[in-house]
Structure 1
Amino acid sequence: MSKFAISVRGVAKDFPVGDDQIRVLHDINVDVNAGELTYLVGESGSGKTTLISIIAGILYPTEGRVQVFDTEIYDLSDNDLVRFRLANIGFIFQQYNLLPTLTAAENAAIPLIADGMKRSEAVERARALLEKLNIANQADKYPRQLSGGQQQRVAIARALVHEPRLIVCDEPTAALDAKSGRRVMDLLREVALAAERAVIIVTHDNRIFDLADRILAMEDGRITHDGRDKAILMQQETP
């Protein structure tokens, strides 16, 4: 059994550009511990979102292997990978991806409903999480009736509601004011400190840098820094 929550070995990713293939990730090797809040930083285009999408089982690598809690996820069939993601992974997208015909509570409850929980029970559990995120009063509203920050918090609730073992976040505080962003990060940190879970966050938000346990920095599709020295974070600028 691996001592790491996530183990990435030799991961590379190519994307087609015209008749060519452009390599955007180069031989990534990294392990992520459970019970820690790990930040992934770097300039736009450095490969951060591509890497976390591969770790979360959303985007297949061109080369390499990814193990999530002792499961080689790209050895799974497509159907088994979907089931594994549903049971074990929560992904907070930078674009909120809320369903316009569902209320905030119903959107947040989707992973529970998809896993077979009774709809009413799933929605009640989602409401409790929306309350923690300070938007319980928006639970019955539709996405079009919510601000960007409120939609972001609904997306965060959806990622956390089924208590996944791996939570992957792409700029979770980008649309939030300082107070709301701190509330979200306090919740994510509370989740991350559980010994059986791992949280990876892509961010440029220097308001929350002090909460990181570990920093991975990327440049040109490669990891250039891996450590616990937060000084590197203070060199990053919030866009």
Structure 2
Amino acid sequence: MSSAAEAEAKAVAAVAAISTRGVARDFTAGQQTIRVLHGIDLDVRAGELTYLVGESGSGKTTLISIMCGILWPTEGEVRLFGTDIYHLSDSDLVDFRLRNVGFIFQQYNLIPAIDAASNAAVPLIAQGMDRLEARDRAIELLAALNIADQADKLPNQLSGGQQQRVAIARALVHQPRLIVCDEPTAALDARSGRRVMDLLREVALADDRSVIIVTHDNRIFDLADRILVLEDGRITHDGRDMPKDH
């Protein structure tokens, strides 16, 4: 790489929400080592709604797990808002994630023994906020997602779509700078899915935030600022629209 190109790459990385360089990840199965990511170089800009698309087994979940500090890379570097996260201590990395990252899991991962508002308030309580204040803030967000009337119900009393919206509220309630979503509209009808995506897009457009969404839902492709296609652990497409062969 020329000195000018290297300087440009460093400048981009300095303003990127996420910057990865040479990220690879191996998994071991018996005596066999399988490489599922192959040297990913990627900059995700703040204020951007980015989709990550690919077939099952292409490495999507592994990549987003590495980008937000859940899974260590075998090789490479990850900077999140300028911080080299894999050079943090374990406790500092946990604290960094708590303050900066919101997760929306495909399986929701709600706590069965507490109601919807308390589930949505978990990140605020973990940061030390008073429980009643945290709950009030969570209910405000549940109202924005049109399920405030379900605030006192346990997860097993909610439909799949309602549980997903509680999970979305939990991811947004502490106003993280990065929101990572795994199929956030999969369990929702078209109207509810659009409402959720409008909210996520509003969040993504903030200058100091970024949203990454793993999705196969072609109903929402038009909302993306950027679509990345991952195939066999490599990014094969990076653009505003899906390639015609997908």
Q: Give TM-score scaled by structure 2 length.
A: 0.93
Instruction: State how many pairs are aligned.
Output: 234
1:122 to 107, 111, 134: 134
Query: Hey, what does 1:48 align to over in structure 2?
Result: 60
Separation (CA, whole Å) in 2 of partners of 1:116 and 1:92: 21
Report the secondary structure of 2:20's partner residue. Answer: strand
Query: Hey, what does 1:144 align to over in structure 2?
Result: 156
Letter in structure 1 aligned against 2:225: D
Separation (CA, whole Å) in 1 of partners of 2:209 and 2:48: 8
Residue 235 of structure 1: how far off its partner (Å): 5.2
Residue 139 of structure 1: how far off its partner (Å): 0.7
| Displacement over 2 Å in runs of 4+ | none
Letter in structure 2 aligned against 1:132: A
Report the secondary structure of 1:218's partner residue. Answer: strand
Letter in structure 2 aligned against 1:47: G
Query: Hey, what does 2:5 align to over in structure 1?
Result: none
1:15-164 to structure 2, matched below 5 A, reads: 15-164=27-176
Letter in structure 1 aligned against 2:58: S
Larger radius of gyration: 2
Residue 90 of structure 1: how far off its partner (Å): 0.4
Is the 2:26–2:74 contact (alpha carbons within 8 Å) kept by the matching residues of 1? Answer: yes
Query: Hey, what does 1:9 align to over in structure 2?
Result: 21
Task: Structure 2: state its 5+ residue gaps.
Answer: 1-10
Separation (CA, whole Å) in 2 of partners of 1:99 and 1:155: 10
Letter in structure 2 aligned against 1:88: N
The RMSD of aligned alpha carbons is 1.0
Q: % of aligned pairs identical?
A: 75
Residue 43 of structure 1: how far off its partner (Å): 0.9
Residue 231 of structure 1: how far off its partner (Å): 4.0
Separation (CA, whole Å) in 2 of partners of 1:110 and 1:231: 36
Deviations 1:109-148 (A, max 9, x none): 0000000000000000000000111111111000111111
Separation (CA, whole Å) in 2 of partners of 1:235 and 1:133: 35
Are positions 1:193 and 2:202 aligned together? Answer: no
Is the 1:171–1:202 contact (alpha carbons within 8 Å) kept by the matching residues of 2? Answer: yes
Is the 2:58–2:231 contact (alpha carbons within 8 Å) kept by the matching residues of 1? Answer: yes
Is the 1:90–1:164 contact (alpha carbons within 8 Å) kept by the matching residues of 2? Answer: yes
Letter in structure 2 aligned against 1:121: E
Report the secondary structure of 2:77's partner residue. Answer: strand
Residue 235 to residue 155, structure 1, CA distance change in 2 (3 Å) = farther
Letter in structure 2 aligned against 1:106: S
Are positions 1:184 and 2:196 aligned together? Answer: yes
Letter in structure 2 aligned against 1:111: P
Q: Give TM-score scaled by structure 1 length.
A: 0.96
Letter in structure 1 aligned against 2:226: R
Is the 2:117–2:151 contact (alpha carbons within 8 Å) kept by the matching residues of 1? Answer: yes
Is the 2:227–2:242 contact (alpha carbons within 8 Å) kept by the matching residues of 1? Answer: no
